[in-house]
Structure 1
Amino acid sequence: MGRDDELTLVRRALGGYGSQAGVVIVGAAGVGKTRLAREALAAAAAAGDRTTWIVGTESARALPLGAFTALIDEHMSGELPNVRRLIDSLVPRPGERGSVLAVDDAHLLDGLSAHVVHQLAQSTGVGLVVTARAGESGPDAVTALWKDGLLARLDLQPLSCAATLALVETALGGPVDSRSARRFWSLTGGNPLYLLQLVKDQVSAGRIRREAGMWVWDGDVAVSQSITDMVGRSLGQLTPGLALVVDVLSQCEPLSVAVLGDLADRGDLEAAERARLIVFERTGGTLVARLAHPLYGELRRATAGEMYLSGLRGRLARRLALDDDDDMHLTVRRAALTLESDIAPDPQLYLRAARVAMTLLDPRTADRFIAAAVDCGATEAVPMRAMSMVLLGRGERADEMLRALCAAGTDAHHWATVRAANLIWMLGRPRDAEPILEELARSEESGAQQAARAAVDACLDAVLGRSRGAEEKACTALASGQLADFHAMMASVALVMALGAGGRVDEMNAVVVRAVARAVASYQSSHLRFWLGAVYVRACRLAGRVDECERSARDLAASARDVPGPAYANLTYLTGQAELARGAVSDAVRHLREALAGVEKTSVTTGLRTACGIALAEAHAKLGQPDEARAVLAEARECIPADYVFMKTNLSLAAGWTLAAGGSVTEAITVVRGAAADARSRRQPAYELACLQALVQWGDFSVAPRAGQLADELPPLLADVVARHAVALRDGDGPGLLAVAADYRANGDRVCAADAAAQAGVAFARSGQRKRGLYAAAVARELAAECGGLCTPALRNPAGQPLTDRQREIVEFVVAGLSNREIAARLVMSVRSVEGHLYRACQRVGATSRDELAAVIRAGPPGGR
């Protein structure tokens, strides 16, 4: 229920019989007072106390001792019941452990019932749990309970956003994406009663659905009669003037008092504030009005007539048109109101608002405006619609429209380059873009056209793994100073990919800063900055710049936490990548799942689905979840474009980690050695280093010479640490491996630090340094816990009794669930040989059976247990 801390406070208060014999829980309606009181009463009953529950009600308030009616027997009855006998009946009898009385809605008690509760608060052995609604006046005896210090007072606050997420996930029986949870929290104010009803309403109406195993709420708000009765029963009984105030704000809030006062009577504004329907606040010196509860607007929109609301939107749109049109948000609001009003369509307003909506990271709203402009016959809306399809990631539809624009002849060169970019990125068909760019190169081009083509050509090279060509073309295009915003973003993405593959992070920083600064104010590339951010974060991770990785993700997330559509999927993906880099692996799984759900929800055709699957497979594998890793890896393999060479190394690494998680460490090493060789042949040292790093983590120190060479070629930090890691592992150098673990940890990479520490534990054990081995193992376990339950091959190697490489390999297959016969087939040896290796492995770790051996390996190094 999200109230564990509060329940603990209540139970402690009940334990303090005497000076304070319980607690008064005060809070707004629906905040969870009653449920918390019932939980506390149930805990008291389970502990052996006698428990009693009474409720104050309006109907019983007129009766003396009305709340205690059910407890009064014939011996207490009469014209005025015997109060003393009633009190005595609630005090513990001899031999009883204690007595706890819960009083719900104590502000509704009659005076005599309140007196009884007040007397019981002064009695020995009686614990009290009392609830009262905040802001309501009640009997003086109830107020005195906390004012006189007889009971502790607990002001029950609405649920936090995190507690809201937990409660919604409990109600739905599965994970919910963060944006949906924030929306539930925002609409209900963290009120548990409203929250659970709102969840039920969205499920019943089909507004919230599962995508990629994640509940996603991305539609309108469904409003039931139940939530109406809970939140806004009085909204149906408003005077016409008050209804107008609420209805105007339901269409557009916040509104300045100047605007609202032109549409509604000022006396009604004051009356609405007194009735707690609206609130006023000052923003930048301007007095603005908001609805007092977010659900008021939803309830009024659901019940008011469409003709009435259409006219109201028209009045509001006309009034907003009188104000300063430089306000971007105002432009979007006015266009949205006009679009759904009774006034004449305004295609120029729709187009202007579409550009603004794109800049403000809302391409879906922008597309609505563009479609409306097209319906009005605005010819300039057609190319904007094509661009909108590209930015929304709807590649097939975009290609159809871009073909038509190229055939029309007007600015055909520009639209041909956009079409090529769409083929490369949105449809995953870079080879189909190649002939388009070649044909443009053969035509007569201006300097600006050459630069635009070079920008997209750079993307083609970057995708095909031709980093040097991508860098040269992107630099040429950017240096021209003649690129449109979209093409400048294309060139920047290609350049960051090329520099990242070479490990040249310092050179990337300036490129990213310039690109983001330009994109923020551009409708063509505003939301593409999250895509650029994801490319940059991955490049930082390749170079071991974990702090920069995390900072970039945090800054981008802060700039647009609730952006809709594809931009949000890109944002959560880059957040997951940053968490994976710093070793917050369980957190990374959640965000990558959210990103994948976002991709499925928006039906984008970009490579983001594949990228999410690759990263998610790696994360699951590092948590020791091979089945989950295999499932998402298979999906990624199915959808990866054949010519996306730039994704192949990451795919191989994810495949390697998945194999290693399933016990096939030797096979994992073979796969990733091949990927390292491919990266070397493409002259992509950062990708090659990533492969070597994984190999060393899996115990392959044969890469030490090549790692040393890369340490001389690449910038310092990661390459040097990987080289020393390989050498220390080869030499069985426990102190050297611990030093490497410390360096990884200082760089922010807790996964590699954990593996190096675990390997140090084995090295110490092999050299007879048992205490140092246990210390290293304890460090490894601590780091694994920080990562959210890391379970890598290195961490599964017991430090106290090291296994041989062959024993290690066979035991990994046992952990993965393979039979002896299946292991023998995998390793091309006899079943008897497998049994012999397992027997000796059991002796080394002190296990008495095959299952116990697997359990010891799963538990990891013993130093932390």
Structure 2
Amino acid sequence: MMPGSTLATGLRTELAHRIAQDFREGSVSGLLIMGEAGSGKAEISDMVVDLVADRMHVWRIYASTVLSTIQFGALTPLSSGATLTQMASPIAVMRLVSSRLAAEAGDRAPLLLVSDVHLLDDSSAAVIAQLVAGGAARLLAFGRAVPTFPNDLLTLYTDGLIERIELPPLSEHETHRLCELYLGGPVMQAVGTYVHRICDGNPLLSTALIDGARRNGSLISRRGVWIPAGELLPADLRLAEVLRREMIDRSPRQRNALELVALSEELPLRTLTQLGYADDVRVLEAEDIVMVELGPPTLVRTRHPLYGELLRQLVPVGRSLALRQELATVTDVMALSGEGVVRYVDWSLDTGAPVDAAVLLRAARQGNDLVHVKSARRAACAVAAPHLVERARIEFARAAYLGGEYDQAIQSCRELLASSTDRVVVGSAAQLLTCVHLQTGEPSARLRQDASLWQAAIERLAGTGKQPDVTTVGIRLIEIAADLRDFAVVGVESDLREILDNRPDEEHEVVALVLLAEVLGWTGRPESGLVCSTRALELIEHQRGLRHYLDLASSRHLLCCLLVPSADRAEQTLELYQKRAPALLLQFGGAVDLAHGLVELRRGRLEAALKRLVPAVEALFDRDVEGLLALAVGVTAFAASLAGEDRLVSRCRQDFQTVPVPGWLDPKYQLAQAYVAMASLGRLGPAATLEKMGALARQAESSGMTSVEVELRLLAAELGDTQQLDRVDVLTAQAEGHIAELLRRYENALVSDERETQLLAVAARALELECVLVARSAARAVSGSLANGRASANMRALETELAGIDERLSPSAPVAPTPLDLSQLSRRERQIVELVRSGLGNRQVATQMSVSVRTVEGHLYRVYRKLGIKSRDHLVTSPLEDPQAADSDL
């Protein structure tokens, strides 16, 4: 498949077939297909030509910047042989072209296929418009919406003689499908999501990024699954050539303006206006090459981040230096935004221009806050001023942590703790070290060692009369983390609540809340844990300096969502995480896919679950920061067994023998063992499997991991275990969440005199909670009783109710979408919903509403919560409760 081809994704193929059918049936006189560069216009054109070739004679007309300056330039192939007198008369040219079309088309209808119609010269456009209006030919034109679009063709459209179709960007699902088709195999979902975020659904950019990453080794195949091996790096020379041609067609001033924006990544519109480029920016914006994001300050960016990156590669160093000097005449570096100062320093270092040490340090901090890891590291390494070197090393350590180089981050922090006399540096090093330890699977002994190192640093500073910017509360937090690493939860909750009651600073508050959420989640109180993790995420959202805690807080929040379980909140968390930190998806994509897979498995969507879980296993084999590999392998084995994928089950069992054991008391490992045992049910038999479940449940009970015990005893109940009722009564009395409720109902149903009736009630309740596997298990137990004649006297009523449950459990059962009630939204939120439902992306919505992209994303997150939906697709495809009323209010 050629780079840029999107036809196999389905969307463009369907459109091409529809266009061809319209022309074959003669239902349209002409179509304008409008889309940005790289949106798939050429592929649609080629397919339409193939589909109509038997009925229509196609004449291809190529417009260009050069030909646009020549009268009838685009019609040269159709007007060859014309005299100078004829070429001076539009009527003569039209007659000549018309007669030639009629002669060559024969009994087929003539179709004029115009590429880059926005570059068509006015004289050619006038002739084509007359031919179409007079019925002498039909028109299929592809181009971009620009201010200089030929007026004669626009008139055809406004008069209703031809139609216009806008090519939308690919959705996230289509982008992921494009990745799979292009690479020829399964792709980790995080890759598709990252590509969609970076390329904004542009097919050409998407395939360029994929192709470049594959060729330079930043995208690799592991057992047939494509996973990232680091940041995806574009290296597509063909796309660079396309951009080079794009630049050639620009005026010198437009090239200057575009290169300035690309080299700066973002520039205030005021700065470009001061340099005299206001008109050029308007042209570039109208042609969708740059976007203007209204502020304050109003900023100009390239339409796609990837465009900017490739354009920067095309600018020679000498020219880059000259442009930087031009910009320096009107720029106050310290007044630049975070993105602006990071790119300005990168640009300066590229050209060898001197940069003040304070600016370098600010760029390193801002780069880390924005997760621009390479830029942050580069700026930190360039700081040479003695009084700032240690603070730069802190930023270097942060960049190492965010880039996944944990050993390097730990080493840098330890060295600073052991030697620095700067109280700010000591405090920052200690807190960053805590963050790294919490995120990674460091053994408890190393955490305690670093707590001692921290204490020694405090004592050393006290001896010099300096107090560090942190207190001993940080030491206590790292000691608590060490206790949790040993799975010792007794007394930990009270210690954490005491720390929080004493109102620590925001960073310590985040750490304490995250630890408390983890404790509450595993000890049977996931709903209370969600309160803590939600507060931690709110603090991180409002304080950029805490952004390096995002992964930590998100993972604990997801843990509690999955243990409640709340699939909706889990999906919302995942979607928000993907928007906040798309670059980190490539590091933690395995964990993200595992979480998605667990949600789908809980819902009983086995195919969807395996599409997430299989790539998650391969990604975690390559990179497992949080010790999730064993759980991923176990869950995949369980899902595969339910789906009848025996070969995958066998492979997972073999994998499980090789995965590192994070600790026998690790709750994730206990669950992993249970899932592998359930996957081996056919081989082990029910008795041996129940024995394994019982042993694991007792182990979870002894370590206080109530949520794990609840899950294990529910699996045992699904196998028909009736020997655990007393323990279940005690357990569910103290546990929060729906799983505990279902366990209590299931176990009581098994020993009830109305067993089948109660099991059907369990199935119905489980369906309400989207716990489809539990519902299916209960329904099968009833079905088995009916088949064996063990059911009670009301067999007919049971059969009727069971049939209803089975219908709801059927994967093919149609689910009517719930209408959305927009009345609960604010006016601004309803305006955004209307624009999103019309097909606009977040940047386009932001531009139209004169707000920032971040503002749009924040409104959409609140819209999802108010409407109880999970994603943008739900917002776009779901019907409105009262469309007329909703539309009238917008």
Contact 1:280 1:287 in 2 (8 A): no
* Cα deviation 1:599-658 (Å, max 9, x = unaligned): 677x57443555555555554455443543554565565234346623232222332343
Q: Whole-Å Cα distance in 2 between the matches of residues 396 and 709 of structure 1?
A: 44
Q: How does 1:684-699 map to 2 (within 5 A)?
A: 684-699=705-720
Q: State the shift of 1:284 in Å.
A: 3.0
1:150 offset after TM fit, Å? 7.3
Distance in 2 (alpha carbons) for counterparts of 1:413 and 1:557: 30
CA distance in structure 1 between the partners assigned to 2:571 and 2:31 by the alignment: 44
> In the aligned structure 2, how far is the partner of 1:544 from the partner of 1:198?
37
Determine the C-alpha separation between the residues in 1 that align with 2:203 and 2:412. Answer: 48
Query: Shift of residue 688 of structure 1?
Result: 0.6
Instruction: Name the aligned partner's letter for residue 554 of structure 2.
Output: G
Map residues 195-274 of structure 1 onto 2, 5 A cutoff: 195-196=206-207, 199-210=210-221, 213-216=225-228, 218-224=231-237, 226-236=238-248, 238=250, 240-262=252-274, 264-266=275-277, 269=280, 273=284
Instruction: Provide the rounded CA distance (Å) in 1 between the counterparts of 2:499 and 2:487.
Output: 19
Letter in 2 for 1:533: S
Task: Find the counterpart in structure 1 of residue 880 from structure 2.
Answer: none
Q: How does 1:144-183 map to 2 (within 5 A)?
A: 154-178=165-189, 180-181=191-192
Tell me which residue corresponds to 1:863.
none
**In the alignment, residue 113 of structure 2 is paired with which amino acid?**
D
**For residue 90 of structure 1, what is the aligned residue in structure 2?**
107
1:305 is aligned to 2:310: no
8 Å contact kept, 1:583–1:787: no
* Alignment-mate amino acid for residue 723 of structure 1: R
2:376 pairs with 1:366: yes
- Runs (5+) with no aligned partner, structure 1: 68-78, 92-99, 123-127, 789-865
- 1:607 equivalent in structure 2: 627
Counterparts of residues 715-726 of structure 1 (less than 5 Å): 715=736, 717-726=738-747
Find the aligned partners of 1:515 and 1:426 in 2 and give their Cα distance: 19
Distance 1:321 1:403 in 2: 37
1:678 corresponds in structure 2 to 699
* Displacement after TM superposition at 1:119 (Å): 7.8
1:743 aligns with 2:769: no
Kept in 1, the 8 Å contact 2:198–2:305? The answer is yes
Residues 366-423 of structure 1, C-alpha deviation per residue, up to 9 Å, x if partnerless?
3333333369771333345445545554333344334434543757899679767756
2:368–2:398: 8 Å Cα contact kept in structure 1? no
CA distance in 1, matches of 2:197, 2:457: 56
SS in 1 for 2:185: coil
Shift of 1:662: 7.1
Unaligned runs of at least 5 residues, structure 2: 1-6, 64-72, 82-95, 815-890
1:36 equivalenced with 2:41 (yes/no): no
1:55 corresponds to: 60
Aligned to 2:294: 283
Structure 2 CA distance, aligned partners of 1:440 and 1:254? 41
Q: Distance in 1 between matches of 2:499 and 2:428?
A: 14
8 Å CA contact 2:16–2:48 kept in 1: the answer is: yes
2:872 aligns with none
Alignment of 1:83-162 (within 5 A): 86=103, 89-90=106-107, 103-105=112-114, 130-133=140-143, 154-162=165-173
SS in structure 2 opposite 1:259?
helix
Query: Does the 8 Å CA contact 1:278/1:291 hold for their aligned counterparts?
Result: yes
Kindly report the root-mean-square deviation, in angstroms, between the aligned alpha carbons of the 2 structures.
4.8
CA distance in 2: counterparts of 1:579 and 1:682, whole angstroms: 29
Alpha-carbon distance change, 90 to 159 in structure 1, aligned in 2, over 3 angstroms: farther
Q: Secondary structure at the match of 1:655?
A: helix
Residue 678 of structure 1: how far off its partner (Å): 0.5
Q: What fraction of aligned residue pairs are identical, expressed as a percent?
A: 19
Aligned residues: 755
Aligned twin of 2:555: 534
Alignment partners' CA distance in 1, 2:245 and 2:618: 36
1:628 aligned to which of 643, 648, 672: 648
Q: Alignment partner of 2:680: what SS?
A: helix
1:396 partner letter: D
2:268–2:300 CA contact under 8 A, matched in 1:
yes
Aligned to 2:533: 512
Deviation string 1:212-239 (CA, Å, 9 cap, x unpaired) is 7224482433241x33443441413655
1:104-128 deviations in Å (ceiling 9; x for gaps): 3286889999988878789xxxxx8
Higher relative contact order (CA 8 A, sep 6+): 2
Query: Is residue 478 of structure 2 the alignment partner of residue 456 of structure 1?
Result: yes
Q: Deviations over 1:142-163 (max 9, x none)?
A: 8898778777654444444433
2:107 partner amino acid? L
Match of 2:755 in 1: 733
| Separation in 1, partners of 2:242, 2:452 | 65
Q: Aligned partners of 1:699 and 1:121: how far apart in 2?
A: 77
CA distance in structure 1 between the aligned counterparts of 2:412 and 2:57, rounded to whole angstroms: 72
Q: Does 1:13 align with 2:18?
A: no
**Aligned residue for 2:443?**
429
Is the 1:357–1:365 Cα contact (8 Å) retained in structure 2? yes
The CA deviation string for residues 651-684 of structure 1, in whole angstroms up to 9 with x for no partner, is 2233234324878555443332221110111222
> Counterparts of 1:255 and 1:346 in 2: how far apart (Å)?
20
Give the Cα–Cα distance (whole angstroms) in 2 for the partners of residues 436 and 112 of structure 1. 80
CA separation of 1:61 and 1:88: change in aligned 2, threshold 3 A: closer
- Supply the distance in 2 between the matched residues of 1:424 and 1:15 (Cα, whole angstroms): 64
Q: 1:7 to 1:241 in 2, by over 3 A?
A: closer
Displacement of 1:296: 5.0
Change (3 A) 1:499 1:630: farther
State the distance in 2 between where 1:247 and 1:157 align: 27
Paired residues of 1:586 and 1:787 also in contact (CA < 8 A): no
Q: 1:269 to 1:144 in 2, by over 3 A?
A: closer
Deviation of 1:356 (Å): 3.3
Please give the TM-score of this superposition, normalised by the length of structure 2: 0.71
1 CA distance for matches of 2:273 and 2:355? 26
Contact in 2 for aligned 1:764/1:770 (Cα 8 Å): no
Letter in 1 for 2:767: R
Q: Which moved more, 1:52-61 or 1:448-457?
A: 52-61
Distance in 2 (CA, whole Å) between partners of 1:145 and 1:669 is 75
Contact 2:257-2:281 at 8 Å conserved across structures: no
